Amino acid sequence: MKILDEKYQGWISSKDVMDSCNISRATLNNYIKLGIIQKPVVLKPGKGMEGTKKIGYFPPNVLDRIATFKKLKQEGNSVSSIVKKLKEKKSQKETKADTVTETNKETATVLELDTAKIEKIQKGIDEHKVTLGVEDIQTPAYLINHKFEIEWINKAAEEQIFRRDVKNIRNAESRNIFKLFFNWEFSSGIQNWQSIIDFHMSFVKSKNPREYIEKIYTDINTSEIKLLEESYDKVSPVPRELIRESSVNIIKSDGTSESYRVYTSFFREGLLFVYVPSNSYIQEITQFLSGRENVIKDLLQRRLPSMVSFCVLFADLQDSVRICAELPPEEYFELINQMWKTMETTFRKYYGIYGKHAGDGIVYYFLKEQNSNYLINSIYCAMEIKEKMKIISAEWKARKKWYNELYLNIGINEGMEYFSTVNASTSMEFTALGDTINYAGRLSDLARYGSILTTKNLVNNLNDESRRKLLFGVRKKMDDHEIFVENVFSRVTDIISNDDMRKTKFMDIATIPVTEVVGIK
């Protein structure tokens, strides 16, 4: 196979290296990472591979170096010692045939890797496991949620498909793929833009009626609705599969075209599209997509920050310091774990998304984009965990023979803030920026004896039916007794008596109108 660049005659293509050594591309990439072989020189292909735009080539000694590695490994040498030997051997022969030209010295540098990284890569080589991660995908790829808004996208997809910077669009709805398809960057850069719309519309049709088109994003106009409805009518719905392979051809504005095999993975959180050029050899893509749990975890960790509407529920155990002092450490942790384990099913039931644990407190989010009933769901969830807390309290009273009542004080707020993930060393947490979450936490501090406090804004944003069913109001002191006044709100400063030592603590939310939710009528 003759290479078009005469300077590299005799060099071996990556495909030939994999075929000759009987290794996968993942293993080949691992050899490069370890410095066993140099990075390939990317060139135009030779005869017989005219359909490929670019391909990597290795110097002739690549086969010998891989064979040497395998031989040394079979003899029981560790990977780190083999890397060291090959490095020394290379430096001794730098004037011989395996020494690259001055132009390519950088690509031949042996990577200095710490022991932990070498062992990690070695594990992939030994077990023939794919080490490809989301960020390693160099072909176009993106994740969309069930509202067809892009949650994650790589640079290749921005440049080759949507032809614009998508990552910096902070409003989630503005990242709706169909809205992006109607932008001039896309339609002017791709001649067959209609067929691309049809391809994605087949996924819409698989789970939504035709009427959904009118509300696929809020500011959709009449002509866009008509075009999408015509697309909806002519495409066939896509059957739900774990991984679906489709053929897509993209014709650019200059008349050149690129054919892709598009792999679509179906997840609870949305759909992942990975475009692989039809003439490329990327065997590990399907293997990578098969590791579903790791793939979606990796994607969610890279979720784009979005300005979204949501409710946040903050729950905190009342008098936790006193309870912690009264219980042995192991029993206190048993209580806390029992509480959150018991509540977890309720949060899932109402589509709550785990935020974080803060000692004996917990934060959950209810996103509008995941469920249109997110407002009332947060309230129903709060009422259900309040009832579950009564059961837990009774169990511990009987067990400990004490008179302590266990209360979970709850604050709920709604708003629109930037929402994304924070990656801890061992876990991933969803979080929102801004005052919405802070106010929910402050309301939880204000609540007493297991009450549920929420804001006037949240109640006013409920639909009429939900608001009529909700029993809410304010407790007011009248002489020596207390009465509950229904369907009213009160400023925080008016709820706290002047002699309450906590009054100054809540000055930052003093003027916010709030109410207590006590049940359903």
Number of domains in the chain: 3
Q: Do both 461 and 511 map to the same domain?
A: yes
Tell me the C-alpha distance between 350 and 310, whole Å.
13
Q: Do both 462 and 436 map to the same domain?
A: yes
pTM: 0.53
Domain that holds residue 42: 6-129
pLDDT of 459 strictly over 80: yes
Q: Do both 59 and 172 map to the same domain?
A: no
Pick the closest to residue 242 from 179, 299, 189, 287 (CA basis): 287
Q: Do both 60 and 96 map to the same domain?
A: yes
pLDDT of 94 strictly over 60: no
478: three-class secondary structure by DSSP: strand
**Amino acid symbol at 44:** K
What's the whole-number mean pLDDT along residues 147-159?
92
Q: Do both 246 and 318 map to the same domain?
A: no
pLDDT of 145 strictly over 70: yes
Does residue 435 form part of some domain?
Answer: yes
Q: Do both 405 and 450 map to the same domain?
A: yes
Q: Which residue has the tokens 């990597």?
A: 56
Does residue 452 form part of some domain?
Answer: yes
Does residue 381 form part of some domain?
Answer: yes
Alpha helices in 12-78 (DSSP H): 14-21, 25-34, 62-74
pLDDT band at 65 (very low <50, low <70, confident <90, very high): confident
Q: Which residue has the tokens 């939880």?
A: 444
pLDDT reported for residue 499: 76
What mean pLDDT value characterizes the chain? 82
What is the helix, strand, coil percentage profile of the chain, to 5?
A: 45, 25, 30
- What does the radius of gyration of the chain's CA atoms come to, in whole angstroms? 30
Domain end call among 284, 301, 318: 301
Q: Do both 377 and 456 map to the same domain?
A: yes
Does residue 1 form part of some domain?
Answer: no
Does residue 68 form part of some domain?
Answer: yes
pLDDT reported for residue 154: 92
pLDDT of 149 strictly over 70: yes
Q: Do both 383 and 515 map to the same domain?
A: yes
Residue bearing the bigger pLDDT, 95 or 17: 17
pLDDT band at 311 (very low <50, low <70, confident <90, very high): very high
pLDDT tens digits for 312-367?
A: 999 999 999 999 999 999 999 999 999 989 999 999 899 888 886 666 788 999 98
pLDDT band at 516 (very low <50, low <70, confident <90, very high): very high
What's the whole-number mean pLDDT along residues 170-180?
89
pLDDT of 151 strictly over 50: yes
Does residue 33 form part of some domain?
Answer: yes
Alpha helices in 111-171 (DSSP H): 115-127, 155-157
pLDDT reported for residue 107: 36
Q: Would residue 125 be called left, alpha or beta, if left means φ above 0 and alpha means ψ between -120 and 50 degrees?
A: alpha
pLDDT over 70 for what percent of the chain?
A: 81
What's the whole-number mean pLDDT along residues 81-85?
76
For 384, counting Cβ atoms within 10 Å of its Cβ (0-12 exposed, 13-18 middle, 19+ buried), the class is middle
What's the whole-number mean pLDDT along residues 67-82?
78
pLDDT tens digits for 182-213?
A: 988 888 889 999 999 999 999 999 989 999 99
pLDDT reported for residue 390: 95
pLDDT band at 104 (very low <50, low <70, confident <90, very high): very low
pLDDT band at 479 (very low <50, low <70, confident <90, very high): confident
Q: Do both 269 and 334 map to the same domain?
A: no
What's the whole-number mean pLDDT along residues 172-176?
88
pLDDT reported for residue 19: 81
pLDDT over 90 for what percent of the chain?
A: 41
The CATH code of the domain that includes 412 is 3.30.70.1230
pLDDT tens digits for 269-278?
A: 889 999 988 8
Tell me the C-alpha distance between 10 and 43, whole Å.
13
Q: Do both 360 and 424 map to the same domain?
A: yes
Does residue 311 form part of some domain?
Answer: yes
Does residue 348 form part of some domain?
Answer: yes
Q: How far is CA 67 from the centre of its chain?
A: 40
Domain end call among 266, 301, 336: 301
Q: Do both 215 and 328 map to the same domain?
A: no
The CATH code of the domain that includes 214 is 3.30.450
Lowest mean pLDDT among 112-116, 274-278, 490-494: 112-116
pLDDT tens digits for 22-33?
A: 787 777 877 887
pLDDT of 282 strictly over 60: no
Q: Do both 505 and 467 map to the same domain?
A: yes
Pick the closest to residue 346 from 379, 311, 370 (CA basis): 379
Domain end call among 76, 111, 129: 129
